[in-house]
A and B are shown apart, each in its own frame.
Chain A
């Protein structure tokens, strides 16, 4: 009879974390800010159709970096979770916090129990009536949840970009400034200037009612970046 090799739990977890981090580092980064008019999310994404940022519910958006099929699956699960909850209770009862917890649970389960962890980092953002009520939940591949204030960065170059933002980000910036700042920090991290065609921009509008999510693209985006 052969004896299986002993691998310590610490080693297993470290290997899985390294694997997930490597996968995420290959992808491009994404930043999200709380601005005066709502939450602004800027991602580097050359595709016009395969989105990294999506609408989940009235005031909630989702963004993911890493492996596309994995965060896309998480996005759909999030839309289902939110729509089921809103249909069974009421639209007001759908919250980013509950969704973030559900994501954390799923990612944590997969990280410890499955063969392969998800190679993703995700963001669940909810716009409030006031900038102080905005919520940014940054969730890692292993289910760690971080409740961020002001801004958050996802992806391989997160540390470099976050360092740049610490000096440049101001709370209560207008939307246009936030979009430009997003484009500039992503460009710096890439050491090349990113034109509108390389960026995916979306925002959660601090409008009083209804669906707050909208994409900023085409001429609108170019005007914002150029202005």
Chain B
């Protein structure tokens, strides 16, 4: 890319309102997942583990534990897996940490770019489809072991409700009715949520359920980080309602987690 001149294109090459297509025109090597190919990853790559999203009466809550592992080693105790996508949606990522973070960054720019070029934002469904295309573009990398499986959730202004979408490695997009959890501890978190979820659950109840689901996953899955009481590290949590994406501060999560500690999901009384 030439920094000094403006990017102009002929009518046949114009990338329209898509930032990803623009990047393909001017700097194809920077599009995540499209550079290089070859055999399987030769090293243990860093993986993020458990993330989840739960729909409640006024929106959705997304949460993720803070652990990343490379093989049997803890690669990070403080990684963040829940990101703001735009003012009404968020994305949480399980899978290879490096490509995941790249994909989120590209996805954030893609949504903002569309909004600025077109003068209005995409629908929630449109955003989910955009993410699906990014996951599909990552398929060659996924076959080498760099798997990225995001969860996407947001507030749908037209339908006036929270919605949750999950994706598989081929870019398949599936709308979940109520909740979903992904990653190595996903199945444990999902079972815990399944037992506690009901229609019309409040935001605070859903947030507590999300934290307990992560604690339950950490109790069963070695790759999921539990609440770290020595270092005071707790999950990342964000709530999305009609008023926008709101990430809970570390202090808020810490306070909330403290009140929830020592429950059955962590093995109390067993």
Contact = CB atoms under 8 A, between A and B. Distances in A.
Contact of A84 (B27, B112, B116): B27
A76 B14 CA distance: 11
Interface in B6-23: 6-8, 19, 22-23
Contacts of B30: 87-88
B3 A86 contact: no
B112 A83 contact: yes
B229 interface: no
Given A51-B119, A87-B23, A80 B106 contact: no
A60 to B, nearest CB: 11
Given A54-B116, A76-B117, A84 B106 contact: no
A102 interface: yes
Interface string B131-149: 0000000000000000000
Q: Which of B3, B26, B27 has the most CB of A within 10 A?
A: B3
Given A83-B109, A88-B27, A102 B5 contact: yes
A49 B7 CA distance: 25
Interface in A2-37: none
A141 to B, nearest CB: 16
A83 B113 contact: yes
B7 A86 contact: no
Interface in A80-119: 80-81, 83-88, 98, 101-103, 105-106
Q: Is the interface of B mostly helix, strand, loop or mixed?
A: helix
Contacts, number: 58
Contacts of B3: 85, 98
A51 B117 CA distance: 11
Contacts of A55: 116
A83 B105 CA distance: 12
A79 interface: yes
A182 interface: no
Given A79-B117, A88-B27, A102 B19 contact: no
A51 B116 CA distance: 12
Contacts of A106: 5-6, 8
B130 to A, nearest CB: 15
Nearest to A84: B1
A116 B235 CA distance: 59
B4 interface: yes
Contact of B7 (A51, A54, A77, A98): A77
Interface of B: 1, 3-8, 19, 22-23, 26-27, 30, 105-106, 109, 112-113, 116-117, 119
Q: List the 4 closest A-B pairs by CB distance, nearest first.
A: A77-B6, A80-B7, A79-B116, A102-B6
Given A56-B116, A105-B4, A105-B6, 8 more contacts: A74-B6, A76-B117, A77-B7, A79-B113, A79-B116, A84-B27, A87-B106, A102-B5
5 contacts: A54-B116, A56-B116, A83-B116, A88-B27, A105-B4
